């Protein structure tokens, strides 16, 4: 193992040295402020280096490639974000946020929304995420991050804070913008799920049922939509429908259906449902 580590270190040293030798003007910072030059470093150290490591960012050498890049040019914002990825995946949020904040300072347009996403989904810092997405909306009005618009995340934040009025306002903007830009007018099922949960929080059960049904029309196996729809029917004392949707939810979880968000492997999304919760509700029905 020592021999392998030595070879890798030597390779990185040579790679860094050759980059420094071949790129003119690095010492005075002119090239480091050039986007084309920054992209060439990403191509060299990440695309042709770190990204090809076994186990990808879980490889201990991931950091070494990015440290070599930053030793040449500390102005590459995406390098700090990439360096933070293993910490995010391992739950080392303080370490990750220190790196992501550096990325934000260098490129707020790209990384303020990303930081807001992390706060909303990973650390559940909803007030912090709202501030970030408000800034992001001023920089890129109506922008998107990780497959969803800014208003989707703002809606989640307000929902989780119990501010249903603001949650509904933001989900309405999110849903309306999707319908306006989609050729098929099909809205993301999770936007409809969270809109239904917002209506449910306000005890507007008929409206919630409408959104849950619209969601299930797109994705009938979504466990969360089936589970929460079952709870509404339980509230209405329609126990046949309660059991029906709980059983669909349970079978969907057993069959591997999820909310289909990229980061579910690392973190639970707000209001995500577990098999334990479904079984608990089924057990209560049997009493």
The CATH number covering residue 168 comes to 1.25.40
| Same domain, residue pair 218 and 234 | yes
| Same domain, residue pair 97 and 133 | no
Taking the CA atoms of residue 30, residue 34, residue 38 and residue 43 in that order, the dihedral angle to the nearest 10 degrees is -120
Q: Does residue 11 form part of some domain?
A: no
Task: Give the per-residue pLDDT at 32.
Answer: 87
Q: Which domain holds residue 164?
A: 117-181
Task: Give the per-residue pLDDT at 3.
Answer: 37
| Same domain, residue pair 285 and 250 | yes
| Same domain, residue pair 193 and 162 | no
Task: Give the per-residue pLDDT at 29.
Answer: 47
CA angle 157, 188, 156 (to 5 degrees): 5
| Same domain, residue pair 123 and 102 | no
Task: Give the per-residue pLDDT at 252.
Answer: 98
pLDDT tens sequence across 30-47: 588 888 999 899 999 998
| Same domain, residue pair 170 and 238 | no
| Same domain, residue pair 208 and 164 | no
Give, to the nearest 10 degrees, the angle between helix 77-89 and helix 93-106. 160
| Same domain, residue pair 82 and 166 | no
Q: Does residue 144 form part of some domain?
A: yes
Q: Does residue 19 form part of some domain?
A: no
| Same domain, residue pair 71 and 152 | no
Task: Give the per-residue pLDDT at 56.
Answer: 81
Q: Does residue 23 form part of some domain?
A: no
Give, to the nearest 10 degrees, the angle between helix 164-181 and helix 150-160. 160
Q: Does residue 9 form part of some domain?
A: no
Q: Domain with 224 in it: what CATH number?
A: 1.25.40.10
**Numbers of helices and strands, H then E, in the chain:** 14, 2
Whole-model pTM over 0.75: yes
| Same domain, residue pair 129 and 68 | no
Name the token pair of 23: 């790129």
Q: Does residue 12 form part of some domain?
A: no
Task: Give the per-residue pLDDT at 114.
Answer: 97
Count of domains for the chain: 3
From first to last of the 287 residues of the chain, give the pLDDT tens digit.
333 333 333 334 334 333 343 343 343 445 888 889 998 999 999 988 888 888 788 888 899 999 999 999 999 999 999 999 999 999 999 999 999 999 999 999 999 999 999 999 999 999 999 999 999 999 999 999 999 999 999 999 999 999 999 999 999 999 999 999 866 668 999 999 999 999 999 999 999 999 999 999 999 999 999 999 999 999 999 999 999 999 999 999 999 999 999 999 999 999 999 999 999 999 999 87
Domain end, chosen from 71, 86, 106, is at 106
For residue 270, give the nearest of 211, 206, 210, 197 by alpha carbon: 197
| Same domain, residue pair 202 and 157 | no
DSSP state of 268: P
Q: What is the Cβ-side half-sphere exposure of residue 75, based on CA atoms within 13 angstroms?
A: 14
Domain end, chosen from 132, 155, 181, is at 181
Domain end, chosen from 181, 198, 229, is at 181
8 A C-beta contact, residue 191 and residue 225 = no
Q: Does residue 74 form part of some domain?
A: yes
| Same domain, residue pair 44 and 83 | yes
8 A C-beta contact, residue 225 and residue 216 = yes
Q: Does residue 59 form part of some domain?
A: yes
């Amino acid at each position: 193992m020592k021999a392998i580590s030595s070879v890798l270190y030597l390779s990185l040293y040579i790679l860094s040295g050759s980059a420094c030798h071949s790129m003119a003007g690095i010492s005075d910072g002119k090239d480091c402020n050039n986007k084309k030059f920054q992209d060439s470093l990403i191509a060299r150290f990440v695309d042709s280096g770190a990204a090809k490591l076994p186990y990808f960012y879980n490889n201990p050498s991931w950091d070494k490639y990015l440290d070599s890049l930053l030793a040449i040019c500390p102005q590459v914002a995406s390098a700090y974000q990439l360096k933070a990825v293993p910490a995010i995946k391992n739950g080392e949020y303080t370490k990750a946020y220190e790196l992501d904040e550096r990325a934000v300072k260098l490129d707020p347009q790209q990384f303020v929304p990303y930081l807001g996403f992390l706060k909303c989904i990973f650390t559940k810092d909803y007030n912090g995420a709202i501030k970030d997405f408000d800034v992001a909306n001023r920089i890129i009005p109506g922008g998107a991050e990780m497959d969803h618009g800014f208003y989707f995340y703002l809606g989640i934040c307000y929902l989780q804070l119990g501010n249903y009025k603001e949650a509904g306002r933001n989900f309405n903007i999110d849903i309306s913008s999707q319908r306006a830009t989609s050729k098929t007018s099909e809205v993301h099922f999770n936007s409809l799920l969270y809109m239904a949960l917002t209506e449910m929080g306000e005890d507007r059960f008929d409206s919630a049922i409408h959104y849950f049904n619209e969601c299930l029309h797109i994705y009938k196996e979504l466990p969360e939509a089936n589970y929460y729809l079952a709870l509404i029917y339980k509230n209405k004392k329609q126990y046949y429908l309660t059991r029906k949707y709980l059983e669909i939810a349970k079978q969907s979880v057993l069959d591997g259906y999820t909310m289909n968000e990229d980061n579910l492997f690392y973190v639970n999304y707000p209001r995500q449902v577990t098999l334990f919760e479904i079984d608990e509700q089924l057990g209560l029905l049997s009493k």
